[in-house]
């Protein structure tokens, strides 16, 4: 279940409030719908950080992602697995974000460079 700040990935809007609280509210509402159909136990939560408005400056997106990734533990309130599109670009900021995510130990992730992810996990003592 991906968090989207718009009707679809091509029509995203900037989140103006605390993104973690916006996600909590979003997932709570969506999981009520899933509950009506007995589907909650099949859900995996995705904070949607792999999606972004095309005109979003990187510095703002970086701060947004850092806030979300640093508070992934708050999404654990739903007792569902987390799926994260792992940061992959080769910059100091992307490397910092990757470390933050890996420390949160999401159950699932999509990565472009698995060997880099495994190396960073090892450096962080996570495997």
Could you list the pLDDT tens digit for every one of the 127 residues in the chain? 999 988 888 888 899 999 999 999 999 999 999 999 999 999 999 999 988 777 889 999 999 999 999 999 999 999 999 999 999 999 999 999 999 999 999 999 999 999 999 999 999 999 7
pLDDT score recorded for residue 67: 97
What's phi and psi for 45, nearest 5 deg? Answer: -90, 130
The DSSP H or E segment spanning 12 is none
**Total-model pTM:** 0.92
CA 38 distance to own-chain centroid? 24
Which is nearest to 98 in space by CA: 81, 85, 108, 107? 85
């Amino acid at each position: 279940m991906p968090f989207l700040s718009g009707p679809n990935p091509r029509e995203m809007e900037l989140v103006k409030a605390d993104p973690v609280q916006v996600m909590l509210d979003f997932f709570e509402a969506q999981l009520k719908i899933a509950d009506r159909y007995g589907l909650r136990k099949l859900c995996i939560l995705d904070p949607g950080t792999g999606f972004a408005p095309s005109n979003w400056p990187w510095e703002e997106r970086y701060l947004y992602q850092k806030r979300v990734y640093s508070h992934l533990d708050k999404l654990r309130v739903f007792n569902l697995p987390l799926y994260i599109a792992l940061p992959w670009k080769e910059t100091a900021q992307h490397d910092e974000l990757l470390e933050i995510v890996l420390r949160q130990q999401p159950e699932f992730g999509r990565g472009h460079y698995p060997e880099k992810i495994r190396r960073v996990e090892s450096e962080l003592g996570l495997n």
